[in-house]
């Protein structure tokens, strides 16, 4: 048994190096996209936000939201669910319980 443990301990640095070498490209790709996607909006991007909001309000007023493809509607539904789940999970974390606020 001690020979097996000794063998495993002697292979650990090689296994760790292999793991790091194989995960480094994936980590670099993640960091590249995380810098762009997780960054807060810049002041120069606010006109685009206002334009998108106006477009959303216009489509709600005219009913053109009914004419979007199923794929886009499904994607919008998934995004709305993600936002609502994050909100409710944040609420549960903030209040410290699932059921109700502790008064």
Are 99 and 61 part of one and the same domain? yes
| Range in 1-10, 16-25, 46-55 the model is least confident about | 1-10
pLDDT above 90 (res 6): no
Identify whether the C-beta of residue 54 lies closer than 8 Å to the C-beta of residue 46: no
Are 15 and 31 part of one and the same domain? yes
Domain assignment of residue 102, given as a range: 43-103
pTM for this model (two decimals): 0.51
Q: 21 pLDDT band (50/70/90 cuts)?
A: confident
Q: What ranges make up the beta strands (E) of 1-103?
A: none
Half-sphere exposure of 36 (CA within 13 A, CB side): 5
All residues at 6 or more sequence positions from 76 whose CB lies less than 8 Å from its CB, including other chains: 68
Residue pLDDT, tens place only, 61-79: 998 888 999 999 999 999 9
Q: 55 pLDDT band (50/70/90 cuts)?
A: very high
pLDDT above 70 (res 54): yes
Largest CA distance in the chain: 76
Closest C-alpha among 41, 85, 58 to residue 93: 85
Tokens of residue 63, six digits: 């009913």
Total number of domains in the chain: 2
Are 32 and 55 part of one and the same domain? no
Range 47-67 average pLDDT: 91
Are 64 and 29 part of one and the same domain? no
């Amino acid at each position: 048994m001690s020979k097996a443990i000794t063998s495993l301990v002697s292979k650990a640095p090689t296994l760790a190096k292999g793991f790091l070498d194989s995960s480094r490209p994936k980590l670099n790709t993640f960091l590249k996209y995380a810098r762009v996607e997780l960054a807060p909006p810049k002041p120069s991007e606010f006109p685009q936000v206002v334009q998108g909001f106006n477009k959303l309000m216009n489509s709600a007023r005219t009913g053109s939201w009914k004419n979007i493809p199923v794929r886009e509607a499904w994607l919008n539904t998934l995004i709305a669910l993600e936002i609502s789940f994050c909100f409710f999970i944040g609420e549960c974390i903030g209040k410290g319980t699932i059921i109700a606020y502790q008064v």
